[in-house]
A and B are shown apart, each in its own frame.
Chain A
Amino acid sequence: MLSKKNKEALFNPLSKDNPVLVQILGICSALAVTASLEPAIVMGISVICVLAFSNVIISFLRKTIPTNIRIIVQLVVVAALVIIVQQVLIAYNYDVSKQLSVFIGLIITNCILMGRLEAFAMHNRPWPSFLDGIGNGLGYTIVLVIVAFFRELLGSGKLFGYQVVPQWCYDHGYENNGLMILAPMALITVGCIIWVHRAHNKELQED
């Protein structure tokens, strides 16, 4: 079930080969949906589902796909899965689907998806591809959650929509940092996380 290679496929993307921190993929949506925690987590789960299943489907089809149109085939699979996720969300979690609005549709353009399909699923069997999809999705979600945690806490004093910064702080002159809500601070937060991450992983440092 979990040979050494499969373990690598599943766990490497969490830190050493993290799609956001190391490969710098999927940055755009990491900036867009991380103003608060709940949409960040739903977005993460959606990406995990789409990534895992598109990896499996492409991996099953990999021997039949004509090389010339492989990108189109990959796109069709990803687009179909994204539409399914979107429709299911509208039917069963309407509030969150409203919150995420266009960003679910934009999973299609998330570079992580095409990257994993091209780099992994086209050359590997379905089971490792599935694990790779889950791993990369999780790696992406972890970063999203960390960024959203700081942005929601510092930007609106809340976590999951609940007030955590007590009122007496505001009474004594504490202010929410409106900048944290804006996309530039998300980029800077991601930058800080990459900094900390590289400082801890010497082998990732470049000259």
Chain B
Amino acid sequence: MNKNSNIYQILYAAVMVLLVGTVLALIYMALKPKQNENIANDTRKQILSALHIAAPDDSQVKETYEKYIIQDLLVDRDGNIVDSAKNVAFDVKMKKNVKLPERQLPVMKCKMDDGSIKYVLPMYGAGLWGPIWGYVAVNEDGNTIYGANFSHEGETPGLGARIADKDFQDEFVDKHLFQEGEFKGVVVLKKGLKSVTGAEQIDALTGATITSLGVSAMLEDCLTPYKNFLMKLQGAGGAKCDAGPVETTESETNNNQPE
């Protein structure tokens, strides 16, 4: 047969593509359950890491997660709980969620070994090369950050990718989201710059300006909707007023410091 005839070439290409497509589809289907399990476990690991908990072993991530996360919540912008079914917050796909006009606001409620309660809030935003996401754990007072974890899809190794490093994430610990009763969030700023809103600040990563700005924008975009929810937590922590939250002891000490 003539190898250079049009018919032969078209048939060759068609058969080849069909064959390769089928093989790839089969492999994809065969590996899918295992991959989904990996991805879910990775998410669990990130959430636990925001709570400073490490699973003893990679095979026990799920057990550890289920031990500490006691309840999944969905809240609305007014801070009311709208859903608390099992895994309802864990199953929220943040990638789609942040684009919705009326987002769902997932919260994972966690009980630590010492009995204290933490709330984990998921975030999702954009870095330099692709999406970045993370989890911020807030203390029961609805104000102090207990821990944070950030991940990225393809930030530059050694530069933007350092948002996934412990050094950067540890800077968030003990930062306050409220200043003098007003929600300010936290901002990531170049060392030496002063935040204009009065929010507490995290030092930006050298050489990774856009990723740092991305983290800052993500924090603002994803924490602000929880404002009322966090205020309610503060209210439950011993305050009385609901218009402007009265500080709990912890945030009061903080407010006395010059900012």
Q: Which residues of A contact B (CB under 8 A)?
A: 35-36, 39, 64-69, 72-73, 76-77, 80, 83-84, 87-88, 90-92, 94, 98, 101-102, 155-156, 178, 181-182
Residues in B whose Cβ lies below 8 Å from that of A83 = 24
**Given known A-B contacts A67-B3, A69-B12, A90-B38, A84 and B158 have beta carbons under 8 A apart:** no
Residues of A within 8 A of B16 (CB): 73, 76
Answer yes or no: B257 CB below 8 A from chain A CBs.
Answer: no
A92 to chain B, nearest CB (A): 7
Pick the contact of B42: A76, A92, A98, A178 (CB < 8 A).
Answer: A98
A64–B158 CB distance below 8 A: no
Number of interface residues of B (CB under 8 A): 27
22 A-B pairs whose Cβ atoms sit less than 8 Å apart in the complex: A64-B3, A65-B3, A65-B12, A66-B4, A68-B9, A72-B13, A73-B13, A77-B20, A84-B27, A87-B27, A87-B35, A90-B31, A90-B38, A91-B31, A91-B34, A91-B38, A98-B42, A155-B158, A156-B158, A178-B158, A178-B206, A182-B158
Query: Which B residues lie within 8 Å of A101 (CB)?
Result: 153-154
Question: Could you tell me the distance in whole angstroms from the C-beta of A177 to the nearest C-beta in chain B?
Answer: 11
* Cα–Cα distance between A137 and B153 once the two chains are bound (Å): 27
Q: How far is the CA of A76 from the CA of B13 in the complex (A)?
A: 9
Closest A residue by C-beta to B129: A102
Whether B81 is near chain A, meaning CB under 8 Å from some CB there, is no
User: Min CB distance, B73 to chain A, in Å?
Assistant: 28
Whether B39 sits at the interface, judged by CB under 8 Å, is: yes
Residue of A36, A66, A87, A91 near B3 (CB, 8 A) is: A66
Measured between beta carbons, the chain B residues less than 8 angstroms from A68 are 4, 9
Chain B nearest CB, measured from A155 CB (Å): 7
**B4 and A67 form a contact (CB under 8 A):** yes
Instruction: Report chain B residues within 8 Å CB of A69.
Output: 9, 12-13
Chain B residue with Cβ nearest A156: B158
In the bound complex, what is the Cα–Cα distance between A99 and B203 (angstroms)? 24
Complex CA gap A89/B206 in Å reads 32
The answer to whether B17 touches A91 (Cβ under 8 A) is no
| B112 located at the interface, meaning its Cβ lies under 8 Å from any Cβ of chain A in the complex | no
Contact of B17 among A76, A84, A102 (CB under 8 A): A76
* CB-based nearest A residue for B17: A76
* CB < 8 Å neighbour of A35 from B27, B28, B35, B158: B158
- CB distance B31 to A87 under 8 Å? yes
Q: Mark B28-68, 1 if CB is under 8 A from A, else 0.
A: 10010011001101100000000000000000000000000
Q: A155: which B residues are within 8 A, CB to CB?
A: 158
- Least distance between A77 CB and chain B CB atoms (Å): 8
Q: What is the CA–CA distance of A90 and B8 in the complex, to the nearest angstrom?
A: 37
CA distance A153 to B23 in the complex (A): 42
The answer to whether B9 touches A66 (Cβ under 8 A) is: yes
A189 to B34, CA, bound (A): 39
Interchain CB contact under 8 A, B27 and A66: no
Task: Given A90-B39, A102-B154, output 11 extra A-B contacts at Cβ < 8 Å.
Answer: A66-B3, A66-B8, A68-B9, A83-B24, A84-B27, A87-B28, A88-B31, A178-B207, A181-B157, A182-B158, A182-B159
